Amino acid sequence: MKFLYLTTPEIPWTDEYFPRVRRAHKLPVVLSQEEVLAFFDYIPSLKYRAALMTSYGAGLRVSETVAVKVSNIDSQRMLLRIEQGKGKKDRYAMLSPRLLQVLRRYYRAVRPDPKRYLFPSWRKDQHMCAGSLQQACREAALRAGIAKRVTVHTLRHSFATHLLENGTDTRIIQVLLGHSRIETTARYASVSPRVVAATVSPLDKLEQPTPPASSRKRGRK
């Protein structure tokens, strides 16, 4: 619109004629560790449980979770390879020992094609639908009695916040999440009340001033 008025008709207007609307800034919804435990207890399907635990355990987006292939699991180096994530970028995510146990148990029960997707769809050569995983996520949150609006991305937010609360460096979290800017990762510091509460105020760092020698002498008299 600005280009149309200033360039095409060449109207001599200034930027004050084009005020920008400020977008509301909202903090992401984050589950506590107790809520995460309760959430996983109410996922009845082994397949959905493994997929949602992968989302939380590795901090993946829903599109990355459903597209994980069996060959992406590197149990020797304890890494999970993410192919063509957001921005068409490959990266490595963490593969925790507990998540590896869950995935091995799931693999033995389901036996997905080792050359294809870890969470296959009923359609041939397709992975699980992101919408069905979101639906399973919402239903599990309702069964667990969690009043917050829980999505697969909520698990990713919770992953990052819990890492921060455990003392993980912000730049490491940035790499794990695949953020291109550190500012995107830094917002989790404002989400975590533990980090805020544990931060030492500069007031507490102030040393008590030493009174002058003349004052100390008068005090002794």
Residues whose CB is less than 8 angstroms from the CB of residue 200 and which lie 6 or more positions away in sequence, other chains included: none
Average of pLDDT values for 142-150? 93
Return the pLDDT at 203. Answer: 58
Q: Which CATH number fits domain 33-193: 3.40.50.720, 3.50.50.60, 3.40.50.12140, 1.10.443.10?
A: 1.10.443.10
The pLDDT of residue 56: 93
pLDDT digits (tens, 9 = 90+) for 178-196: 887 877 777 776 666 666 6
Residue of 160, 165, 202, 201 lying closest to 184 (CA atoms): 160
| Token reading at 76 | 């020797």
Confidence of residue 197 (pLDDT cuts 50, 70, 90): low
Confidence of residue 2 (pLDDT cuts 50, 70, 90): confident
pLDDT value at residue 131: 94
Domain ranges of the chain: 33-193
Alpha carbon distance 189, 164 (integer Å): 7
- Can you list the alpha helix ranges (DSSP code H) found in 117-206? 130-143, 152-165, 170-177, 182-186, 188-191, 193-198, 202-205
Residue-level pLDDT at 169 = 85
More confident residue, 54 or 207: 54
Determine which of 22-26, 133-137, 154-158 has the lowest per-residue pLDDT on average.
22-26
Write out the catalytic residue numbers: 61, 86, 153, 156, 179, 188
Distance CA 127, CA 125 (A): 7
Per-residue burial over 6-24, b = 16 or more CB atoms within 10 Å of its CB, e = otherwise: beeeeeeeeeeeeeeeeee
pLDDT at 84: 76
**Average pLDDT of the chain?**
84
Dump pLDDT digits (tens) for 48-100. 999 999 999 999 999 999 999 999 999 999 999 998 767 678 888 889 999 99
Confidence of residue 209 (pLDDT cuts 50, 70, 90): low
